[in-house]
């Protein structure tokens, strides 16, 4: 109820603010020019280089998803934003109201917020709503040289909305299928000389495609910018998000009836094998900090961003555990009744991070330098608890009957980890004459890990780097070549008790970028083409050199990923917007003592092809009317690596999906209807065992009305 009262307050106050603006704004004449999404095509990304180096000069594959793209296509989470991005797949477990499941170049990327790693627990992202985002930056390939601990596939950064001096705002209401109801608002402007503020808020209540599962979200993000002098600025940033999902029991379905045939027919994609009256997920996630900068001169500045984030999640539920097999002969009794288990899971994560750096523009002879040197610190504190219980009554997957009494299952701590990381880094972009640019970067990290429950401690260091060579031609074409290294700690120890070394990622990437802006015909276009070879080493694999049957491991495993990625974002004459991408990925476990040797990495299809076009009439009697249509294809992929627990590799089927929207902008109003999976394709997103299959997201339709002021 408190969330509903807040939403009503936001609605009332925003409507009051909008009223004067509406009274002062006359409808446009017939020859008025309607411009929507002017910043659709990105120009740069500080996340890639921690400087204002343009994307075309960055020797790395980087995708920036702007606020205009998010708004035009009505995206609310990271899984949706990567639908038309090369090298990344999302929504890998179908509809999930809790978190975003992403795979980037075969690996799960880690999420950052405003350039600092967020509080992440067992999942490498936070499920943060994108209504508070100014942009999303996707850095592909090893990125440890500026960010420290990171998987070899890359990272994702969300940049929060910042206060603006000019007064502006919006209020929006949404309705949709499955009882989707949402209200959101954003207001910004100057409060006094040198002081500006922003408040972004959202409340959403909706059902899901899973039977008797509902989701509620409250998001609030106040921000304040202070300018104590012409050379200084500090922006205070904060956010709070509360999620509650009741009745959750989606997924964890048997393979027979989803991916494989079942004599009783196909299981419904709405199936819920849990207990709606018992299953519940609750999360509170908040962060507070600042971004500050001070210009020491025309060419030297100092920057610092600091953030403390807290994540608490508490989940209890009942899940499916495969068809009942009373005589344990490997054949289900009736292919209907599913065995179940109960579980509870709780996480508390606190993260404090601060990054301080100096940016300097210098010249030595004929060489122009763009220098970045900094030090960052992160303290990560994690407490995880869980419990599992069996003996839960089975349920009919085709005709479920709910109401079983589920005993309380208090979670017990399984991990209490504290990790401290200090990183010292430097980067120099050298302009060698003409369009030739050499980028060199290096970083050393000192890390201390402490597992409090096991009373184990260890300290280690690691060095990461990136070297790149680019040539930017006058026509906007820029070929580049780069080498990069990443690292990521590995928990545990070998047979002798020696802690494992970090896994490392090494990549060589060659590519071509093209940037066309401000052409006479109004063209804005950014396109990239990249080919890469990525190797992850020090991967854990069974210790088979010693007899005894013990489950020890050694670090002689290796994974290789090779790929080609092409991507285009364009806007023509403020009317036609395009997103297009193609991905080819060849992944393989190239060294292992286990049965997964030679396997393809899970949820990493060989091919991904996507394209979307949006056209908006800019003038005339249809000015402001627009529509979009997009299609995305994913080839088949594996759902799991071969193991003793999953001796069979499950293959996720190929799928083609379509998205569409129609929208109308007039004066300060916007009316829109958007649909994803337009033709309501019923498909399996992933299976990774006989008992764990997940349907993809069915059709979602949303209608919205927005008033800008």
pLDDT digits (tens, 9 = 90+) for 106-119: 999 999 999 999 99
Please tell me what DSSP assigns to residue 495: T
Residue, of 450 and 72, whose pLDDT is higher: 450
Average pLDDT rounded to a whole number, residues 592-610: 96
Per-residue pLDDT, 419: 95
Which region among 77-86, 93-102, 306-315 has the lowest average model confidence (pLDDT)?
Answer: 93-102
Tell me the average pLDDT across 600-605: 96
Q: Which of 2-16, 78-92, 294-308, 401-415 has the lowest mean pLDDT?
A: 2-16
Q: What is the mean pLDDT of residues 627-632?
A: 96
pLDDT, one tens digit per residue, over 256-304 is 999 999 999 999 999 999 999 999 999 999 999 999 999 999 999 999 9
Mean pLDDT for 647-654 is 94
Regarding beta strands 625-634 and 637-638, do their DSSP bridges make them parallel or antiparallel, or are they unpaired? Answer: unpaired
- pLDDT > 80? residue 29: no
Residue 28: Cβ-neighbour burial (10 angstroms; 0-12, 13-18, 19+):
middle
- The two three-digit tokens of residue 599, written as one number: 């396997």
Question: Residue 20 phi/psi, 5° resolution?
Answer: -60, -40
Average pLDDT over residues 450-457: 90
Give the pLDDT confidence score for residue 19 in this predicted structure: 35
| Average pLDDT taken over every residue of the chain | 91
For residue 366, name the pLDDT band (cuts at 50, 70, 90): very high
Buried/exposed 553-587: b ≥16 CB within 10 Å, e otherwise: bbbbbbbbbbbbbbbbbbbeebbebbbbbbbbbeb
Residue 493 pLDDT grade (very low, low, confident, very high; cuts 50, 70, 90): confident
Contacts of 245 (CB under 8 A, 6+ apart): 97, 98, 213, 214, 215, 216, 280, 281
Distance spanning both ends of the chain, measured CA to CA? 29
- Rounded Cα distance, 161 and 477, in Å: 31
Question: Which range has the worst mean pLDDT, 486-490, 612-616, 642-646?
Answer: 642-646
Average pLDDT over residues 214-224: 97
Residue 1 has pLDDT above 50, yes or no: no
Strand pairing class (412-433; 88-90): unpaired
What secondary structure does DSSP assign to 159-189, as a single string?
Answer: EEP---SS-EEEEEEEEETTTEEEEEEEEEE
Residue 32: DSSP 8-state: P
pLDDT of res. 494: 87
362/624 Cα distance (integer angstroms): 47
Q: Which of helix, strand or coil describes residue 2?
A: helix
> What is the model's pLDDT at position 31?
52
Q: Are 87 and 614 in contact (CB under 8 A)?
A: no
List the beta bridge partners of residue 428: 371, 440
Range of lowest pLDDT (237-251, 486-500, 539-553) = 539-553
Residues in the chain: 709
* pTM given for the model: 0.91
Residue 3 has pLDDT above 70, yes or no: no
The pLDDT of residue 73 is 84
CA distances from 338 to 149, 188, 274, 342, 401 (A): 41, 53, 10, 13, 12
| Residue 20, pLDDT above cutoff 50 | no
The pLDDT of 664-683, averaged and rounded, is 95
- pLDDT(491) > 90: no
Q: What is the model's pLDDT at position 594?
A: 92
Q: Catalogue all structural domains in the chain, each as residue range(s) with its CATH number.
A: 62-340+349-708 (2.40.170.20)
**pLDDT of 226 over the 90 cut:** yes
Residue 21 has pLDDT above 90, yes or no: no
Number of helical (H) and strand (E) elements in the chain, helices listed first: 5, 33
Tell me what the mean pLDDT of segment 629-646 comes to: 93
Closest by Cα among 109, 59, 141, 43 to 441: 59
The pLDDT value recorded for residue 72 is 85
Q: What is the CB neighbour count within 10 angstroms for residue 136?
A: 24
In this predicted structure, which of 5-14, 352-361, 465-474, 647-656 has the lowest mean pLDDT? 5-14
Token pair belonging to 697: 């997201």
Q: How far apart are CA 585 and CA 565, in angstroms?
A: 8
Q: Where are the beta strands (DSSP E) in 296-326?
A: 300-323
Contacts of 163 (CB under 8 A, 6+ apart): 188, 189, 196, 197, 198, 223, 224, 225, 235
Mean pLDDT of 492-511: 92
Residues 6+ apart with CB under 8 A from 94: 250, 251, 685, 686, 694, 695, 696, 697
């Amino acid at each position: 109820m408190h969330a509903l009262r807040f939403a009503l307050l936001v609605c009332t106050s925003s409507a009051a603010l909008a009223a004067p603006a509406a009274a002062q704004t006359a409808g446009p004449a017939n020859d008025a020019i309607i411009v929507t999404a002017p910043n659709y095509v990105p120009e740069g990304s500080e996340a890639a280089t921690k400087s204002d180096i343009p994307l075309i000069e960055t020797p790395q594959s980087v995708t920036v998803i702007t606020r205009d793209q998010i708004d035009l296509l009505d995206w609310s989470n990271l899984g949706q934003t990567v639908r038309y991005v090369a090298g990344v797949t999302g929504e890998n477990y179908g509809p999930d109201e809790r978190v975003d499941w992403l795979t980037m170049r075969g690996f799960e990327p880690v999420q950052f917020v405003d350039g600092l790693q967020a509080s992440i627990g067992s999942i490498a992202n936070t499920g943060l709503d994108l209504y508070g985002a100014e942009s999303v930056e996707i850095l592909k390939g090893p990125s440890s040289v500026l960010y420290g601990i990171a998987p070899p596939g890359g990272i994702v950064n969300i940049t929060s909305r910042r206060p603006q001096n000019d007064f502006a705002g919006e209020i929006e209401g949404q309705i949709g299928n499955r009882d989707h109801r949402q209200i959101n608002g954003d207001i910004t402007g100057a409060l006094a000389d040198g002081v500006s503020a922003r408040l972004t808020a959202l409340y959403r209540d909706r059902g899901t495609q899973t039977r008797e599962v509902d989701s509620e979200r409250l998001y609030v993000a106040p921000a304040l910018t202070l300018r104590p002098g012409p050379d200084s600025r500090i922006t205070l940033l904060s956010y709070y998000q509360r999620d509650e999902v009741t009745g959750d029991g989606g997924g964890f379905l048997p393979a027979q009836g989803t991916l494989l045939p079942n004599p009783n027919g196909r299981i419904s994609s709405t199936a819920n094998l849990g207990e709606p009256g018992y299953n519940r997920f609750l999360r509170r996630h908040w962060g507070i900090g600042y971004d500050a900068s001070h210009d020491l001169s025309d060419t030297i500045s100092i920057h610092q961003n600091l953030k403390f984030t807290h994540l608490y999640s508490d989940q209890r539920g009942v899940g499916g555990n495969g068809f009942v097999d009373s005589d344990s002969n490997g054949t289900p009794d009736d292919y209907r009744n599913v065995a179940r288990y109960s579980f509870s899971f709780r996480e508390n994560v606190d993260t404090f991070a601060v990054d301080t750096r100096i940016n300097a523009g210098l010249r030595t002879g004929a060489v122009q330098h763009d220098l970045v040197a900094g030090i960052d610190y992160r303290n990560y504190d994690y407490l995880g608890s869980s419990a599992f219980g069996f003996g839960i009554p089975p349920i009919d997957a085709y005709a479920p009957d709910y109401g079983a009494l589920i005993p309380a299952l208090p979670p017990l701590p399984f991990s209490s980890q504290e990790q401290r990381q200090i990183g010292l880094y430097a980067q120099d972009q050298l302009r060698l004459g003409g369009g030739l640019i050499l980028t060199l970067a290096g970083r050393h990290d000192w890390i201390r890990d402490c597992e409090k429950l096991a009373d184990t401690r260890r300290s280690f260091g690691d060095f990461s780097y990136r070297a790149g060579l680019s040539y930017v031609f006058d026509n906007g074409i820029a070929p580049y070549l780069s080498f990069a290294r990443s690292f990521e700690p590995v928990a545990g120890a070998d047979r002798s008790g020696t802690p494992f070394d970090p896994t490392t990622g090494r990549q060589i990437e060659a590519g071509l970028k093209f940037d066309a802006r401000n052409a006479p015909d109004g063209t804005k276009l950014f396109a990239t083409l990249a080919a890469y070879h990525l190797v992850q080493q020090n991967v854990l694999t069974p210790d088979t050199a010693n007899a005894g049957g013990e489950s020890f491991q050694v670090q002689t495993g290796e994974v290789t990923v090779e790929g080609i990625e092409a991507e285009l974002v364009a806007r023509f004459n403020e009317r036609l917007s395009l997103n297009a991408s193609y991905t080819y990925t060849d992944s393989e476990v190239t060294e292992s003592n286990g049965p997964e040797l030679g396997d393809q990495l899970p949820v990493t299809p060989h091919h991904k092809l996507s394209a979307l076009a949006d056209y908006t009439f800019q003038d005339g009697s249809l000015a402001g009317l627009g529509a979009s249509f997009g299609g995305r294809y994913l080839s088949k992929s594996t759902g799991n690596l071969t193991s003793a627990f999953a001796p069979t590799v499950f293959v996720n089927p190929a799928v083609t999906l379509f998205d569409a929207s129609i929208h109308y902008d007039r004066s300060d109003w916007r009316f829109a209807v958007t649909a994803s999976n337009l033709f309501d394709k019923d498909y399996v997103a992933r299976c990774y065992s006989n008992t764990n299959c997940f349907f993809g997201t069915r059709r979602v339709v949303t209608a919205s009305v927005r008033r800008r002021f």
